[in-house]
Amino acid sequence: MKVLFTNAAESATITAPNESPNYPAANLVHRILKKRYQAVINEDTIRLEWSAAVVVNCLYVGYTNASAFTLRLYDASAALLATVALSPADMAAHFAAVSGVRAAEIDLEVASGAVYLGGIGIGEEYTMPDPRNDWTDGHLDNSNVEISADGQVFANRIEPLRSLPLNFFTIGFEAFREIRDLIVPISRAVPVWLDVFETWHAEALPLYGTVELSKSTKRDHVIDFSLNIQEAR
């Protein structure tokens, strides 16, 4: 399980030559994914620049119609450090850490119409222990529904939000404290990018959402704990 607790995009200068004035590239780090960036044509190149070097080992994307992404990483002298392809079907790419990154470019395109992207997560992600095999999957439906006396349903449908309660067992105290110290300061207040099953996207795609430490049970020299993950758009 991968979690990007610190999104390096938030400290970058972000530009895009074909951005729409109504949907600028700055929206890519807005807390609300649906407040998106959008180009005026079907393709664009998003550029991120940092004043100090960062480490990058992942790229997350959300709420997009793009059919292809290519990430390029550069050092301070504009030398190419790495090139990574990302499939929108996966919504995330994980790769060996690249140090000394001062700029990144993301090419994206769609077959027709204006390409758009709700948000990006980039930087050095944290590797969590794997959750226990038995897990539950839920969906939070926030649709507004009214039912008439005759049983007619009138609804303003909103696509349900994914909810994933996960359990972790026999985690050492030191490892648990490290996880706790990352999660507790943000909890339900700050959404992060995460990939619960990075090798099993057919079951659960990466998502942008909150992570809450719900309970922990100490026994001997290990801890069992639970996390509640709630998608945010």
Distances (CA, A) of 100 to 52, 79, 186, 187, 229: 8, 11, 27, 30, 32
Express each pLDDT in 45-62 by its tens digit: 999 999 999 999 999 999
Residue 106: predicted pLDDT: 98
List domains and CATH numbers for the chain. Answer: 2-125 (2.60.120.260), 138-231 (no CATH)
Evaluate if residue 33 carries a pLDDT over 70: yes
For the entire predicted model, the pTM comes to: 0.89
What is the per-residue pLDDT across 60-93, written as a single tens digit (0 to 9) for each?
A: 999 999 999 999 999 999 999 999 999 888 999 9
Average pLDDT rounded to a whole number, residues 143-162 = 76
Pairwise pLDDT comparison (218 vs 3), residue with the higher score: 3
